[in-house]
Amino acid sequence: MMGRIILTMQTTMDGIVSNEDQWMTLNEEIFEDYLEYYNTIDTIIIGSNSYSSLAQHWQNAENSSADDLERAIAMRINAIPKFVISSSKMDVTWKNSQQILVNGENSMAHQIEMLKNREGNISVESGVRTWQLFIQHDLFDDLWLFIHPVIASQGERLFALANKRFTMNLTSSKTYSNGVLGLYYSK
């Protein structure tokens, strides 16, 4: 069975997905759902611009986070095979990581289709440009959005490069105690 490609991200009410440190608030409920989610994921895709910060965060969190759930998530993420999309050679040292070298958007689409033909679910973690390219080239099956009760007004918008209409089906929703709304859509 072919895997599903899931875009998961934090966003504001007005669709901003950049500068998360200025508006994102996570809580235990969200961490619990993330742990459950990562237990269903077989592959992670990361954009090259986000690779270093994610690698540093999750490697450190596995050993030094004061939060048990964050440590458990870190252990799971660190164990999952990760593919870093980049147009130039880079140093990839995070455990279970390898680079996918692409020379243009068509090359990226081909590489992603090859990954999708493997069994298992694929989570596309970040960054903004990577998410935008997956949307622009229709390389995803599901969207899991965490919509924070903030209007940021400025920043990069998730659907800025969307070049066609997508009809999605809401398969689940959850309101968290901190006001975040979790919405899971499938095509």
Q: What is the pLDDT of residues 136-155, one digit of tens each?
A: 888 999 999 999 999 999 99
Residue type at 101?
L
2.30.40.10, 3.90.1170.50, 3.40.430.10, 3.30.470.20: CATH of 5-186: 3.40.430.10
pLDDT tens for residues 57-102? 999 999 998 889 999 999 999 999 999 999 899 999 999 999 998 8
Ordered by start, the domain boundaries in the chain are 5-186
What Å distances lie between residue 86 and 47, 92, 106, 142, CA to CA? 7, 11, 13, 23
**Is 73 in contact with 34 (CB distance < 8 Å)?**
yes
